[in-house]
Amino acid sequence: MKILNIGILAHVDAGKTTLTENILYETKVINELGRVDKGNTQTDSMDLERRRGITIKASTVSFTIQDLKVNLIDTPGHADFISEVERSISILDGAILVISAVEGIQAQTKILMNSLMKLKIPTLLFINKIDRSGADSSKVIQSIEEKLTNRAIPLYMGVNEGTDTAQAESYDFGSEAFVEKCIDVLSMNNEALLEDYVNGKVQTKATLRHEISQQSKEGKVFPVFIGSAVKGIGVKALIDSLEAFLPVNCSRDTAGDPQPLSAVVFKIEREHTGEKKAYVRVFSGVLRVREEVLVSRRNSEGELEPSTDKAKMLNALRDGKTLHAEKIEAGDIGIIHGLKSLKIGDVLGEWSDRIRNVSFAEPNMETRIEALHSEDTQKLFEVLTSMAEEDPLIKISRDDFNREIYISLFGEVQKEVIKTVLQEQENIEVGFSETRIICMEKPEAVGSAVEVMGSKGNPFYATVGFRVEPSEQNSGIIYKLDVELGSLPLSFQKAIEDTVYHVLKQGLYGWEVTDVIITLTHTAYASPVSTAGDFRNLTPLVLMEALSKAGTEVYEPINSFELRVPAQALSKAIFNLSTMKADFNEPALKNETVLLTGSIPVATTEPFKVGLHSYTEGEGIFIARPSGYKKIDGEIPTRKRSDYNPLNKKEYLMHVQNAVRK
């Protein structure tokens, strides 16, 4: 059996879910077309997706074209759900990037295309909505060449665009102009083709189509199709071209398959019963039900940590249905039940070179979430923890000191999604605080402190000393020993080290401390009265005193950006960027469009985007990506502590001693 795994991607509202619906209709998976505006599409299964007309969770459905099985993933288009998109991209054989013939290239379009090209994923471009007023596919193709890639090959042209009679017609391979365009693009990767053309050798339709096919399958060129998903125009041509232009997996009789199992978990959901099910892409070997399988997960150091487990049940995707299966073969996508500890990114079997490493941007905003009915608080935390397992980029933390729950996220739309899911699926009503950015602290200089056992003000049977100093950018926390390893029992050493990492979660201003070297300079204990608890309780006092002497600076998250605006809007754009505390380079003018690049604080990124549309009349394209942190000059934002501050020694010791008595 031949298998192809593709994803449909697009900027929000470009029409990718409608295209998915039409593909399923053309391949007879569904008998009636659903519509996004009516909320009855096949792949948008969440009530909120149907109501808002946006895709939130990536969904997978399969269809068959003769002897080719296609697993199709409809991914979210909204920037708040980029983690869903990135996970889906990592397991694809190919992709279809949908672009509106009316709106053209938009911010998310370019971000997605950059990701696809970076991962070398073969991609077909589909210019949608040619029947809409204002549609101009030739203008969009020109924009593709200028803003996305110069390796696009348009295979179709629009006729009567912007009307109800719009159609897509294929270019004539006998046309000299079309052949010349193909040669220009194809020769970037095949100089012999250009040489033959210059020497007058005639390129047949079969030769050119074969060359386009091969280079497309290698992700070197990008065939362009056009049509209208809502009317089915150009959809069949796109379907019929999937095998020709995208790389197909050819599975075989796997009874004696010598290939080791290699699969990766890319999505996790929960059934209504609470049972976890994991979506896996199998790259080699066979995943069989009730057969023991090796599960590997990367730890914080990037090393694979193995364990073993058995799949209680497997499901295969077949023509829009989910069926029980005894095995999932190489090249296919399946659903595994019964492995309770599975997380997204886990590798089943052996690591394969075909498994793509995708670096996910961390959410750099957070909000406090609370149950409106206090009796739901514990249940809320448990449900949010389960949601975080399904999406590893949703981070949940509980502040037991202030009895508060915090959630990290990418944007405001996520709040609405979380609120709706909690209310409709769990019957929990919640409220949110205002979203704030997540800053970090870094030491400014070197600071030292020590507390000696038996000295005044040290009630613990322990001696601890630390030196705090700045480290290189992105080095994290480096913990060192300037004492002999055997100077303390191992349990005491571990108590100190574990506490150091815990204390650095909250610096002088309440933010996590990073890019720091912590050196343990002094230790002593009294046998047999000293305990690990003495070291756990003393470490925060000494470490925070050393950090206070070193001082810290607060850094805020920033985005690198790329802004394209019409030349007449440049002065307004520059004024707004300056108002939003952005740093930018010299403007570059090309074809009446100005390109500006630079960096902008995450805190002012969204306000800048909101105002862009009005003064550029919808022509402005703003792309922002996480780009590290920048030191804050001026008023320093603080974060409320989630425990007793060790710098308030009297209050801290009173709390610790009361806790010990209890």
Range name among 18-22, 36-40, 108-112, 147-151 with the lowest pLDDT average: 36-40
Model confidence over 588-616: pLDDT tens digits?
988 788 999 999 999 999 889 888 888 88
Arithmetic mean of pLDDT, 77-97: 71
Whether the pLDDT of residue 234 is over 90: the answer is yes
Q: Residue 139: its pLDDT value, please? A: 93
Which tens digit of pLDDT belongs to each residue from 633-661? 889 999 989 889 999 999 999 888 776 55
Let me know if the fold of 365-437 is the same as that of 554-631.
yes
Q: What is the pLDDT of residue 252?
A: 55
**Triad 308, 311, 314: Cα angle to 5°:** 150
Q: What is the pLDDT of residues 548-558, one digit of tens each?
A: 999 999 999 99
Look at residue 153 in the predicted model and tell me its pLDDT. 96
Region of 581 (left: φ > 0; alpha: ψ -120 to 50; beta: rest) is left
- On the question of pLDDT at 359 being above 80, the answer is no
**Which pLDDT score is estimated for 268?**
81
For residue range 216-230, what is the model confidence (pLDDT) as tens digits?
Answer: 999 999 999 999 999
What is the model's pLDDT at position 46? 45
> Band of the pLDDT at 236, cuts 50, 70, 90?
very high
The 10 Å Cβ neighbour count of residue 618 is 11
- As a whole number, mean pLDDT of residues 446-458 equals 95
Q: pLDDT by residue (tens digit) across 561-573? A: 999 899 999 999 9
Residue 299: band (very low, low, confident or very high) from pLDDT cuts 50, 70, 90: low
- Could you give the CA distance from residue 414 to residue 410 in angstroms, rounded to a whole number? 7
Contact 448, 465 (CB under 8 A): yes
237 vs 353 pLDDT, higher one: 237
Q: How confident is the model at residue 335 (pLDDT cuts 50, 70, 90)?
A: very high
- Which of 3.90.1300.10, 1.25.40.90, 3.30.230.10, 3.30.1490.20 would CATH assign to domain 441-550? 3.30.230.10
Q: How far apart are the first and last CA of the chain?
A: 66
Multiple choice CATH, 2-172+221-250, 2.40.10.120, 1.10.150.20, 3.40.50.170, 3.40.50.300 = 3.40.50.300
Lowest mean pLDDT among 6-10, 162-166, 268-272, 468-472: 268-272
Q: How confident is the model at residue 486 (pLDDT cuts 50, 70, 90)?
A: confident
Task: Please state the length of the chain.
Answer: 662
Domain ranges in the chain are: 2-172+221-250, 262-349, 365-437, 441-550, 554-631
| Alpha carbon distance 593, 97 (integer Å) | 24
pLDDT confidence band for 262 (50 / 70 / 90): very high
pLDDT bucket at 54, cuts 50 / 70 / 90? very low
Note the pLDDT of residue 169: 94
Mean pLDDT (whole number) for 384-403: 78
pLDDT of residue 662: 53
User: What is the predicted pLDDT for the residue at 53?
Assistant: 43
Q: Is the pLDDT of residue 80 over 90?
A: no
**Among 439, 433, 465, residue whose Cα is nearest residue 452:** 465
| Angle of the 205-217 helix axis to the 176-186 helix axis, nearest 10 | 30
Average pLDDT over residues 346-368: 80
Q: Cα Rg for the chain, rounded, in angstroms?
A: 29
Per-residue confidence (pLDDT) for residue 266, from 0 to 100: 85
Average per-residue pLDDT for the chain: 87
Q: Write down the pTM of the prediction.
A: 0.76
Domain 554-631 has CATH 3.30.70.260: no
The most confident of the ranges 30-34, 126-130, 356-360 is: 126-130
3-state secondary structure 449-505: EEECCCCCCCCCCEEEEEEEEECCCCCCEEEEECCCHHHCCHHHHHHHHHHHHHHCC
Nearest residue to 276 (alpha-carbon basis) of 336, 202, 198, 221: 336
pLDDT above 90 covers a percentage of the chain that reads 53
DSSP string, 83-144: HHHHHHHTT-SEEEEEEETTTBS-HHHHHHHHHHHHTT--EEEEEE-TTSTT--HHHHHHHH
Residue scoring higher pLDDT (79 or 452) = 452
Does pLDDT of 55 surpass 70? no
201-205, 411-415, 461-465, 582-586: least confident range: 411-415
Q: Which is more confidently placed, 79 or 578? A: 578
Give the model's pLDDT for residue 583. 94
- For the domain covering 365-437, report its CATH number: 3.30.70.870
Vertex 555: Cα angle to 554 and 560 (nearest 5): 170
Q: Which CATH number fits domain 262-349: 2.40.30.10, 2.60.40.1120, 3.40.1350.10, 3.30.450.20?
A: 2.40.30.10
Query: In this predicted structure, what is the pLDDT of residue 201?
Result: 80
Query: Who wins on pLDDT, 41 or 200?
Result: 200
Higher local confidence (pLDDT), 103 or 352? 103
What would the DSSP string read from start to end of 158-214?
A: EESTTSTT-EEEE--TT-HHHHHHHHHHHTTT-HHHHHHHHTTPPPPHHHHHHHHHH
pLDDT tier, 19 (very low <50, low <70, confident <90, very high otherwise): very high
